[in-house]
């Protein structure tokens, strides 16, 4: 969910993610044409300092968050004033909307999108930031758009925390969108229909992507969970086959999940049995190399996935 316009300066090489339990940061460097994670760090947050939510205040202790951001950025080995910021999926509502005809003027399209989502928005649109990007083009014509809606004051809290830490959030996006962008930037980017399962500490997001267009997006928080992840996967697979004319997933990727019972490997086996296809753990090294001195633990790879993705997205935007 980007709030940046045309990039008038070089894109940042530092990505920052804010979660309920910690703040993570990574710096991307380039060795020729190869992006490389040059440094990374993580700062813990006390319980209750950050509570990612759609329609409530997210940051209870602004000074604590700002200090953690400042400490994380300072430990990357470079001075920076601009960062790309990754936020939890739960700070926004994501919808897919389709139009038979798309206005040629951007201002008219913006009004059409806002009118379409007004009734389903969880708060008045006057209080909202609305971001959208083109999705797939249905065979029968028209255009689909992926729309993210967040409360303006919620996003401004995260921006304020960055500002007080001495950095500017030039690009803001959701964690799962950032993971998707990282996958699409990899040397082995999937083609056809593929499924991403993003398991974070407090939520799970499933996204079906057709080549490079998101065609399904569902987020489930731990508080409103009425079924297990396996059941959710089964429901998604059935919807994909029945409503999206799915012919089968070419790849299934799982991101995060390091805190799942039994770890990522146990979850992979369960999902493979239910879906009947191979499931891979996301490895951001397919998109950006790591310096030799960096140990690629499963926890680190899970943390780097969204950070690498948002930084590579910024490079493509430039």
Band of residue 175 on the pLDDT scale cut at 50, 70, 90: very high
pLDDT over 60 (residue 317) = no
Going by their DSSP bridges, the two strands 193-199 and 203-210 should be labelled as: antiparallel
Other beta carbons within 10 angstroms of residue 312's beta carbon come to 25
CA distance readout (Å), 231 to 8, 235, 238, 244: 46, 6, 11, 19
Band of residue 9 on the pLDDT scale cut at 50, 70, 90: low
pLDDT by residue (tens digit) across 23-82?
Answer: 999 999 998 889 999 999 999 999 999 999 999 999 999 999 999 999 999 999 888 999
Q: How far apart are CA 305 and CA 19, in angstroms?
A: 14
| 35-44, 204-213, 261-270: segment of lowest average pLDDT | 261-270
pLDDT by residue (tens digit) across 279-311?
Answer: 999 999 999 999 988 888 989 999 999 999 999
Domains defined for the chain, CATH in brackets: 14-90+152-175+300-317 (3.30.420.40), 91-150 (3.30.1490.300), 182-284 (3.30.420.40)
pLDDT over 80 (residue 6) = no
Q: How far apart are CA 271 and CA 253, in angstroms?
A: 11
Band of residue 86 on the pLDDT scale cut at 50, 70, 90: very high
């Amino acid at each position: 969910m980007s709030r940046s316009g045309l990039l008038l300066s070089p894109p940042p090489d530092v990505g920052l993610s804010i979660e309920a339990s910690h703040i993570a940061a990574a710096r991307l460097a380039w060795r020729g044409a190869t992006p490389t994670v040059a440094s990374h760090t993580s700062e813990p947050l006390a319980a209750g300092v950050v509570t990612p939510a759609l329609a409530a205040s997210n940051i209870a202790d602004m000074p604590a968050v700002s200090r953690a951001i400042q400490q994380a950025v300072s430990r990357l080995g470079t001075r920076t004033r601009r960062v790309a910021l990754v936020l939890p999926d739960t700070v926004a509502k994501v919808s897919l909307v389709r139009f038979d005809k798309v206005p040629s003027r951007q201002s008219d399209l913006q009004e059409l999108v806002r009118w379409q989502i007004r009734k389903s928005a969880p708060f008045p649109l006057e209080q909202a930031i609305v971001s959208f990007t083109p999705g797939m083009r249905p065979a029968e014509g028209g255009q689909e758009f992926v729309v993210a809606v967040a409360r303006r004051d919620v996003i401004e809290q995260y921006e304020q925390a960055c500002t007080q830490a001495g950095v500017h959030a030039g690009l803001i996006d959701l964690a799962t969108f950032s993971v998707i962008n990282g996958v699409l930037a990899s040397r082995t980017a999937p083609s056809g229909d593929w499924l991403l399962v993003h398991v974070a500490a407090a939520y799970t997001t499933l996204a079906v992507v057709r080549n490079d267009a998101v065609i399904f997006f569902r987020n489930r928080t731990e508080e409103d969970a009425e079924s297990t992840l396996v059941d959710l996967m089964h429901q998604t697979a059935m919807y994909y086959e029945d409503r999206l004319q799915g012919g089968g997933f070419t790849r299934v990727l799982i991101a995060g999940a390091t805190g799942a019972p039994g770890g990522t490997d146990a979850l992979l086996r369960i999902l493979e049995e239910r879906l009947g296809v191979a499931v891979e753990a996301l490895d951001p090294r397919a998109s950006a190399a790591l310096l030799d001195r960096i140990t690629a633990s499963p926890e680190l790879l899970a943390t780097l996935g969204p950070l690498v993705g948002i930084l590579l997205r910024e490079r493509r935007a430039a």
